[in-house]
Structure 1
Amino acid sequence: MRLILNIIWLIFGGLWLALGYFLAGIICFVLIVTIPFGFAAFRIGVYALWPFGYTVVDKPGPRPGAAIGNVIWLLVAGIWLAIGHVLTAIAMAITIIGIPLAIANIKLIPVSLLPLGKEIVPSDQPFAGVSR
């Protein structure tokens, strides 16, 4: 079932969403100072390509740099990305087949708001949803 949902997701928006995150990551790498944001954008882009079967967890340990970076990300890009995901989820939820896709879009909101200090792991991994 995950495979079918991932293929439908890829066709109806996942590819374009991932390409947008990859483009943002490349721009962040070119600007050099924003390289940590580039890594985050690539991580989100890979997650946006194939979201079913994966979940986002916090990386273990204190991360003061990630907290500062997340505040900057939230103000510059995070809020706009989250709004885009909400609007896209609403549009996808109009049809019955689009409801799982809308849920996947909603799953992307937390990591698009605060991406630093996060890790994307398979959902079937033991303790995948529990911070280590």
Structure 2
Amino acid sequence: MKPFMNILWLLFGGVFVACEYLVSSLLMMITIIGIPFGIQTLKMGMLALWPFGKEVHTSPDSGGCLSIVMNILWLFLGGIWISLSHLAWGVLLCITIIGIPFGMQHFKLAGLALTPFGKEIVDI
């Protein structure tokens, strides 16, 4: 069932979300300062490409206070807007019964978009 849902996800907009994350990741990696943020955006793009069957967990070696500082910077530099857009899409998709699984994936992406540093994506 997971591969079928992932294919539907790709057909109904997942490809566009993943491409947006990929382009923004490449643009962030142009500068040395933007590389850590580009890596986190790339992580979100990989999850946006194939979200069903994956979960986001806090990494045991999350980096301590550096991870907290980077998450705060991320939050103020655009993470809140990315998270709010995923929340809006999640609410819109959850209006219909058919859209609930896709809305739940947007909620998962919203949580990761809010604080991506110190998180890892694992297969379930």
TM bucket (normalised to shorter chain) is over 0.9
Structure 2 equivalent of residue 30 of structure 1: 30
Structure 1 equivalent of residue 52 of structure 2: 52
| 1:60-110 superposed Cα distances (whole Å, 9 cap, x missing partner) | 134221111100001111110111001111222233221100011111111
CA distance in 2, matches of 1:87, 1:111: 15
| 1:31-70 superposed Cα distances (whole Å, 9 cap, x missing partner) | 2211001110001100001111000111113422111110
Structure 2 regions of 5+ residues with no counterpart?
Answer: none
1:111 partner amino acid = L
Structure 1 regions of 5+ residues with no counterpart?
Answer: 124-132
Structure 2 equivalent of residue 128 of structure 1: none
User: Number of matched residues?
Assistant: 123
1:46-125 equivalences under 5 Å are: 46-61=46-61, 62-123=63-124
CA distance in 1, matches of 2:3, 2:98: 15
Question: SS at 1:42's partner residue?
Answer: helix
CA distance in 2, matches of 1:27, 1:45: 14
Deviation >4 Å, runs of 4+? none
Question: SS at 2:56's partner residue?
Answer: strand
Query: What TM-score comes out, normalization by structure 2 length?
Result: 0.93
Query: What TM-score comes out, normalization by structure 1 length?
Result: 0.88
CA distance in 2, matches of 1:86, 1:92: 10
1:74 partner amino acid = L
CA distance in 2, matches of 1:11, 1:68: 37
> Shift of residue 11 of structure 1?
1.1
Question: SS at 2:29's partner residue?
Answer: helix
